[in-house]
Amino acid sequence: MTSGQLDTHAHAYWLRSPGCGEIRPAELQEPGPEDVLVRTVCSGVSRGTETLVFRGGVPPGQYAEMRAPFQEGDLPGPVKYGYLNVGAVERGPAELCGRMVFCLYPHQTAYVVPASAVTLVPEDVPPARAVLAGTVETAVNALWDAGPLLGDRVAVVGAGMVGCCVARLLSGFPATRVTLVDVDAARAEVAAALGVDFSLPDEAAGGRDLVVHASATSAGLQRSLELLAPEGTVIDLSWYGDAEVRLSLGGSFHSGRLGIRASQVGTLSPARAGRRTTAERLALALELLRDPAFDALLSGRSRFRELPDVMARLAAGRLPALCHTITYDGE
């Protein structure tokens, strides 16, 4: 471990109450022999989940399930929430010092965590792209759940962060035709950068062997079912919070023997639970981020001190972005 006096100066973003965020001082503890001190370089806003938290849209019965790994406080607030953080190790084991790491830590200028809680970022993965590791990890788990086959016809409904990551990973399956479906025609440019087709919902072709749903809307889930071939399955990645989901199941749902299956990154897919650890899954996600196509998702950037206003604008839909990154240079 490197020596030297610890700089205890740090600040963190907190949700004081639904709809109101603020920057607070944070006190750093002295790192132990198995800890690391990380100075944040950039973090990412997980738009779907974090804006839901910002609005106070998490049902009380899900507060414990939605708890982030290094969360402080409790939902609905005051709470320090977030989990896409990339920084440089300033103190810790020799093999980590000076290295860039990813951690499931909230938006904070510096922090001390066990060394086991960080994952090395490959040297050829830029820090801004590395913040997508948590989202790519969700996509990896979804595809373990889905089990796509060679030559499948697949639709991904919802071109947000998760949907786009799923689409890019699917694009690497041989002979697989992938269509990204979204109500926003501007997402066609992102789809092209990811190497997949694009369609508006009403124009999307049916007969899909597999549909991955990530729009977090009833309309998106309904359209996902309509796009399936008989005996097909929708893998639902959406987190709806306290929003009511309505479906019409009087069409081909029963006659076509259609299925809806949930996928959630909080636990390993049963398809890999016996052979992979969560640490291995996250390391795989970072390896996959060597692919520069993922840069198409990095569509906004702000300074850390601007985060309270940025979160409010994202939640209100006034700031269009896929992954909005937060920079910490000069805070």
Q: Which CATH number characterizes residue 152's domain?
A: 3.40.50.720
Q: Is the pLDDT of residue 5 over 90?
A: no
Residue 288 has pLDDT above 80, yes or no: yes
The token duo for 53 is 């938290």
Sequence-distant (6+) residues with CB within 8 A of 59 are 241, 242
Q: What is the pTM of this model?
A: 0.91
Which amino acid is located at 323 in the chain?
C
Output the domain CATH number for residue 298.
3.90.180.10
Residue 144 and residue 103 share a domain = no
Pick the range with the lowest mean pLDDT from 13-17, 108-112, 238-242, 255-259.
238-242
**Rounded average pLDDT over 139-167:** 95
Q: Give the count of domains, the chain.
A: 2
Domain shared by 211 and 241, yes or no: yes
> Per-residue pLDDT tens for 98-144?
999 999 999 999 999 999 999 999 999 999 999 999 999 999 999 99
208 and 237 share one domain? yes
Question: What is the per-residue DSSP string for 190-224?
Answer: HHHHHT-EEE-GGG----EEEEEE-S-SHHHHHHH
Alpha carbons 209 and 50: distance in angstroms, whole number:
32
* pLDDT-above-90 percentage for the chain: 82
Domain holding 123, by residue range, is 9-132+289-327
Task: Specify whether 168 is located in the same domain as 114.
Answer: no
